Structure 1
Amino acid sequence: MRDNRIELVRASWKELTISISDVSLSDEGQYTCSLFTMPVKTSKAFLTVLGETLHTEGEDVTLTCSTSGSKPAADIRWFRNDREVQGQKEVNATGRSFTVKSKVHLRVDRTDDGAAYTCVVEHMTLGSLAHQVTEVLEVHYPPQVMIVHSVVSPQEGQYFKLECVSRGNPLPEPVLWTKDGGELPDVDRMIVEGRDLIITTLNKTDNGTYRCEASNQLGSNRDEFVLYVY
Structure 2
Amino acid sequence: MYDMDASKIIRQVIFFLFLGHNVHVSSMTMQTKDVYISQRDNRIVLNCTYNKDIGERIPEGNIRWQKKIGNTFQDIAIFSPPNLQQPFIIKEMDQIYNNRTELIVPNTSMAAVMIINNPVCKDGGIYRCLIKYFSDKSEKNQTSGSVVKFIAEAKEPEEIVVFPEKLDENQSLSLTCSADVGSPQGYIQILKFFENSDRLDLIYKSNSTINKTENCTEYINVTATYTVTREDNGAVFRCSSRNGLTQGPGPTRESNKISVLYGPDETTISLTPNKSMYTVGDRLTIQCITDSNPPSTINLYFRPNGSSVERPMGLTDNKLEFDSLQVTDSGTYTCTAVNEVGSNSPNATTRVTVSVKRYYGCSQCRYIDTCQQNYDEIECILNKWVPTAVVFMTLSVAFAVSSIVLYINRKRSQETIAVKTMHNTRPHPSDAPEDNGGGYASPSDLNRTQEAVSSPMENICEAYSQSKDFIKLQEHSLLITHHNEPDGYTTTQDVVQYAAVQKKPTKDQVSDENVYDSAWNSDNVFFKLRPDTQGPHRSPEQQ
- TM interval, shorter chain, is 0.5 to 0.7
| SS of residue matched to 1:111 | helix
| SS of residue matched to 1:80 | strand
- Residues 1:193 and 2:316 are matched in the alignment: yes
Deviation at 1:182, TM superposition (A): 2.7
- Check conservation: 1:158, 1:201, Cα contact below 8 A: yes
Q: Structure 1 counterpart of 2:260, which letter? A: V
Cα distance in structure 1, aligned partners of 2:161 and 2:349: 37
Specify whether residues 83 and 124 from structure 1 end up closer, same or farther in structure 2 by C-alpha distance, changes over 3 A only: same
Residue-by-residue CA offset, 1:113-148 (whole Å, 9 max, x unaligned): 122221101136877683212223221222253211
- Check conservation: 1:207, 1:227, Cα contact below 8 A: yes
Q: Which residue number corresponds to residue 223 of structure 1?
A: 350
- Residues 1:58 and 2:170 are matched in the alignment: yes
Residue-by-residue CA offset, 1:152-173 (whole Å, 9 max, x unaligned): 1212333322011233221224
Cα distance in structure 1, aligned partners of 2:334 and 2:299: 8
Cα distance in structure 2, aligned partners of 1:69 and 1:226: 63
Whose strand proportion is higher, 1 or 2? Answer: 1
Q: Structure 2 counterpart of 1:204, which letter? A: V
Cα distance in structure 1, aligned partners of 2:184 and 2:209: 11
- Check conservation: 1:77, 1:84, Cα contact below 8 A: no
Specify whether residues 87 and 50 from structure 1 end up closer, same or farther in structure 2 by C-alpha distance, changes over 3 A only: same
Cα distance in structure 2, aligned partners of 1:69 and 1:150: 56
Cα distance in structure 2, aligned partners of 1:161 and 1:69: 57
Cα distance in structure 1, aligned partners of 2:230 and 2:157: 33
Specify whether residues 13 and 207 from structure 1 end up closer, same or farther in structure 2 by C-alpha distance, changes over 3 A only: same
Deviation at 1:46, TM superposition (A): 7.8
Specify whether residues 203 and 125 from structure 1 end up closer, same or farther in structure 2 by C-alpha distance, changes over 3 A only: closer
> Residues 200-211 of structure 1: matches in 2 within 5 Å?
200-211=323-334
Cα distance in structure 2, aligned partners of 1:79 and 1:114: 14
Deviation at 1:112, TM superposition (A): 0.8
Q: Which runs of 5+ in 2 are unaligned?
A: 1-38, 43-99, 101-119, 122-155, 194-198, 304-308, 358-543
Cα distance in structure 1, aligned partners of 2:200 and 2:157: 26
Residue-by-residue CA offset, 1:11-45 (whole Å, 9 max, x unaligned): 9576xxxxxxxxxxxxxxxxxxxxxxx9xx89xx9
Q: Which residue number corresponds to residue 134 of structure 1?
A: 254
Cα distance in structure 1, aligned partners of 2:224 and 2:323: 54
Deviation at 1:195, TM superposition (A): 1.0
Q: Which residue number corresponds to residue 26 of structure 1?
A: none
Q: Which residue number corresponds to residue 202 of structure 2?
A: 85
| SS of residue matched to 1:167 | coil
Specify whether residues 74 and 193 from structure 1 end up closer, same or farther in structure 2 by C-alpha distance, changes over 3 A only: same
Whose helix proportion is higher, 1 or 2? Answer: 2
Cα distance in structure 2, aligned partners of 1:69 and 1:225: 59
- Residues 1:150 and 2:267 are matched in the alignment: no
Specify whether residues 64 and 113 from structure 1 end up closer, same or farther in structure 2 by C-alpha distance, changes over 3 A only: same
Larger RCO, structure (CA 8 Å, separation 6 or more): 1
> Residues 172-191 of structure 1: matches in 2 within 5 Å?
172-173=296-297, 175-180=298-303, 182-184=310-312
Specify whether residues 170 and 131 from structure 1 end up closer, same or farther in structure 2 by C-alpha distance, changes over 3 A only: same
Deviation at 1:192, TM superposition (A): 2.8
Specify whether residues 142 and 178 from structure 1 end up closer, same or farther in structure 2 by C-alpha distance, changes over 3 A only: same
Cα distance in structure 2, aligned partners of 1:212 and 1:69: 54
Cα distance in structure 1, aligned partners of 2:231 and 2:223: 20
Deviation at 1:73, TM superposition (A): 5.1
Q: Which runs of 5+ in 1 are unaligned?
A: 1-10, 15-37, 185-189
Cα distance in structure 1, aligned partners of 2:261 and 2:336: 18
Out of 205, 229, 244, the position equivalent to 1:109 is 229
| SS of residue matched to 1:168 | coil
Q: Structure 1 counterpart of 2:158, which letter? A: L
Out of 153, 159, 179, the position equivalent to 1:48 is 159
| SS of residue matched to 2:328 | helix
- Check conservation: 1:191, 1:198, Cα contact below 8 A: no
Cα distance in structure 2, aligned partners of 1:171 and 1:192: 15
Identity, % of aligned pairs? Answer: 19
Count of paired positions? 192
Cα distance in structure 2, aligned partners of 1:178 and 1:141: 24
Q: Which residue number corresponds to residue 240 of structure 2?
A: 120
Cα distance in structure 1, aligned partners of 2:271 and 2:224: 43
- Check conservation: 2:169, 2:230, Cα contact below 8 A: yes
Specify whether residues 73 and 100 from structure 1 end up closer, same or farther in structure 2 by C-alpha distance, changes over 3 A only: farther
| SS of residue matched to 2:278 | coil
Cα distance in structure 2, aligned partners of 1:128 and 1:203: 64
